[in-house]
Structure 1
Amino acid sequence: MRLLLVEDDNHVAAALSAVLARHGFDVVHTRSGEEALQELLPSEDVEPFGVVLLDLGLPDQDGFEVCGRIRKISSTPVIMVTARGGVRSRIHGLNLGADDYVVKPYDTGELLARIHAVSRRAASEEHADVQGEEGASGSGTLRLGAVTIELPTRQVTVDGVTVALTRKEFDVLALLAQRPGVVFRREQIISEVWRTSWEGTGRTLEVHVASLRAKLRLPALIETVRGVGYRLVAPSAPTA
């Protein structure tokens, strides 16, 4: 797998690149956001990157801005690797489209596990998208009160106004909306949306649910069932 490492510290980059290379990764190192964006531009002559490791403290622009710009040109999984460990920073990074968030200092084995996890999820989602496109027959709209969810196009509207959701936010909402009123266990949601049973994903699920409530401006739509999981509260069942 080709991996793009965006890190302005050459010593850190050299050490991490050596570890990644020993585990079979073809690492391309860039020191700035602009260099990273240039590397991610589509090219017929170069194999696309499987994962981007993105530091936030870059010399030319903040890593959050870089992530937002990456999402406009590429769906490559992004793992933010940074010393900023605050909850607000984590939420902001995930809202911008990051697939994972790792705080320095980190264990190398854990970082490798996260790289493999996000790459597996990306491959699984790509396969699911292809299957969905092949099997779509014009149906696939869920209507829950003011909320309309278009499954084939992955669009969500509230009272007719489009709401921009990240890939994972949409997947969580769509899963809950399939069976309104039914409680989905946290482990079940993590398994179906993140394709993993890793316990470290639990906090990520909480962040995504909080972000969904804020973006939809319907905090009561997704109910927390203490000690179990979440369920979608809607006035009526979805219709196709």
Structure 2
Amino acid sequence: MNVQRTALVTGANKGIGLETARQLGRASMTVLIGARDEERGARAAAALRREGIDARFIALDVTDAASVAEAHRTIERDLGRLDVLVNNAGILLGRSTPSATRLDEVRHVFEVNVFAAIAVTNAMLPLLRRASPAARIVMVSSGLGGLANHGDPAWEYASFNAIAYPASKAALNMVTVQYAKELAPTGIKVNAADPGYTATDLNGHRGTQTVEEGARASVRLALLDDAGPTGGFFDARGPVPW
């Protein structure tokens, strides 16, 4: 008997998260729209259902331990397992120069972009371990988190000079590698996705890609077969420099 596979996407009520859920839903997965705003999350899930996708809103504030625990209980009760986790939720603050950086902004960015990804992953791992075939975990990172990129003066975004966001994504890349090492024997694959410069609220819609393009890397990593990689950093075209 074929059981429909299920994916949880955090921060999925809009932007790349919503489009990632849409594309996974079109790949015949049940998609859980993780969002802290009930009205927006429910509206996003309803919009996907009108497209014929099995989409369900799940209340999830990734920075709130009680909310994360309740989301785990809800998924366990209603579905029993989880096949894909896409840690998509993220924020961008602290665009000033390093010397003007405010520590409160850095802490806030790390709370959402790094610590929350760890908290959600750890909470969902018991459900992910029940997946058959093995589950997939996608950490939505950024090319701005690649140290090699920032060391290359010819890189198209070399002028970007801030601490909070790039440092958080560099840290998330390390988080990805460490989970991948631990979970390799289980068959669970853990990879980081670089969506590319995508037009979303995060950058005031200045990005040069559509959300459809921006979601492709995450979707591809979420749907990897058993021969696919783990512990890597990829955009829609292939490996990205660390």
Instruction: Place the TM-score, normalised by the shorter chain, in its bin.
Output: 0.3 to 0.5
The structure with the larger Rg is 1
Taking structure 2 as the reference length, what is the TM-score of the superposition?
0.40
Name the structure, 1 or 2, with higher relative contact order (CA <8 Å, separation 6+): 2
Name whichever structure is richer in strand by fraction: 1
